[in-house]
Amino acid sequence: MSYLDDILKSRRDTRHFTTDEVPDEVMENALRAGHWAPSVGLTDATRYYIIKATEVKKAIKDLFLDYNKKAEALTDNPEQKEHYKSLKLEAIEEAPIGLIIAYDRSVLNQFTIGTVGSNEAVKFSSVCAAQNIWLSLTEQGYGMGWVSILNYYQFKKILDLPENIEPLGYFCIGKPATNYDNQPMLQQLNWKQKSETPECTEIKNVVENSVLESSKISTSVKINDDFSKLLQEKIDSKTKPIGALGTLEDLAFQMGTVFETLEPKITNPNIVVFAADHGIANHGVSAYPQDVTRQMVANFLEGGAAINVFCKQHNIQLSIVDAGVNYDFPTNANLINAKIAKGTQSFLHLPAMREMEVELCFEKGKEIVENIVKSGSNCIGFGEMGIGNTSTASVLMSLLTGFPIEECVGKGTGVEDEKLIQKQNLLKKAIENYSGQAELKQQLAYFGGFEIIQMAGGMLAAFENKMLILVDGFICSVAYLIAFKMNPNIKKNAIFCHCSAEQAHQKLLDYLEAKPILNLDLRLGEGTGCAIALPLLKSAEAFLNEMASFESAGISKK
């Protein structure tokens, strides 16, 4: 084994340090090694911040402990919980030096060779720098620990890092006080064992048809004119004046048409809540910090949210999807794992996602719905959770409808007055910065959200499977708008459950020529509008299937 192999194998995440000082020369060598790391397009985007002050270290330690407590609570395995508690990171205050390794995303404001395919390459360059620093420190007899269990929004805030600087994490540097015998600490504590060899698979074939392209194929549904006539006659023959049940009659006709039967019946209704984080949230567009996305998903899983209450009330199956939350949930959580990444990038400076991730979102959404179809469900509601997603939805609405962004922006989670104007200006600037193509796929990649696109893919799949599609509020209506642009026939299956308090929602509903069932000033999301509206659908089903006709009741018609 070579000397380099020895260094590579001994490079471990150091958790405890001695009180020995780190000579300036050691840090200079390490940072020089980081600077020598590969840098995409010679962007030199990696930035370093040294921390020695006790006060600053304590603030970071407090931030870590707060987040660490939440992470510990998310495992139900007592043994694993005890292992987790043993991972206390005294190193933040103990290590002589703290180092923040970050990247400057403002370099992407200029054309850079190497970032055309993926803007994340700038971030990857900084990871290469972190690796080089780690290796250099190891070779010099020092160690480094990577702390990533942090609320990054608060992390940047307490350190007053510039908006364009994105930290990889906080790194502790000093003389190692522990020897793990070439074994990672997590492995030594039996948390998880590292595989013996790397996993490598050779790819030999090319998949020619993309999910997005195949989804564009419009599938028409032709209901026989005779059937439509019979269905309408059945509705009109009930013991009531024609049209007296108003919207319920429209819903009954729509249900019969979608299910292609004169006796439609909703079976195993399911509401699916898609959750994801958005890079744009880091710019203060929401009244809540980004971590609330993760907290609310935990609330869904514990049964404490509004959607849990309403689904339980009306006997609706509830499914929660991690489409891209900035958190790793326990593997035993009752959660559908469709994570694309830990949140999108901020579209103020660079594309929110790669086109490949857009494709994957459509694929994941389709897969989730098709699995629900297998359970015997023919009615699916779509809900969402994601701090910052009203901003994403507003921009997509503006681009896909042509409305000015000012008419597409609302309060979201409760942004008021001056902050609302700032939100409008920020999103206007983001659109002005966009110089990409005016094609749906490119627009979705630049401004989209993982949960929004997965919902659009799920709606297209629901249409293909002849399901009733329940659309919740503003964000879900934007997901529907995407699906509608790809296949206008989806309108036959869609039921818009309510008009929300978001000012842009009514404008979007008018654009879609959609008539919502309810108007309750809701702006919660989560699919709550779908759950509240479902009893009305059941009423439409009941009158069509159980109400007497003039003939059966022996009552004379007008």
Cite the active site residues. Answer: 526
Q: How many CA atoms lie within 13 A of 537 on its CB side?
A: 29
- Write the CA distances from 249 to 235, 255, 506, integer angstroms: 7, 10, 23
d(CA 156, CA 159): 5
List alpha helices for 348-437, DSSP H.
355-374, 389-401, 417-433
Neighbour count for residue 129 (Cβ, 10 Å) = 26
Q: Are strands 379-385 and 270-276 parallel, antiparallel or unpaired?
A: parallel
List the strands of the sheet with 336-337, edge to edge: 336-337, 317-324, 270-276, 379-385, 468-471, 494-496
Q: How many CB atoms lie within 10 A of CB 552?
A: 11
Residue 9 contacts residue 182 (beta carbons within 8 Å): yes
β-strand pairing of 46-51 with 97-104: antiparallel
Q: How far is CA 477 from CA 201, 237, 251, 290, in A?
A: 40, 34, 18, 22
CA–CA gap between residue 463 and residue 219 (Å, rounded): 9
C-alpha span between 295 and 298 (Å, rounded): 5
- 468-471 and 494-496 strand pairing: parallel
Nearest to 496 by CA among 293, 288, 250: 250
CA gap 428, 526 in Å, rounded? 27
Distance CA(452)–CA(434), nearest Å, equals 20
Q: Which two tokens stand for residue 218?
A: 């419009």
* Angle of the 450-464 helix axis to the 474-486 helix axis, nearest 10: 60
Q: How far is CA 119 from the centre of its chain?
A: 19
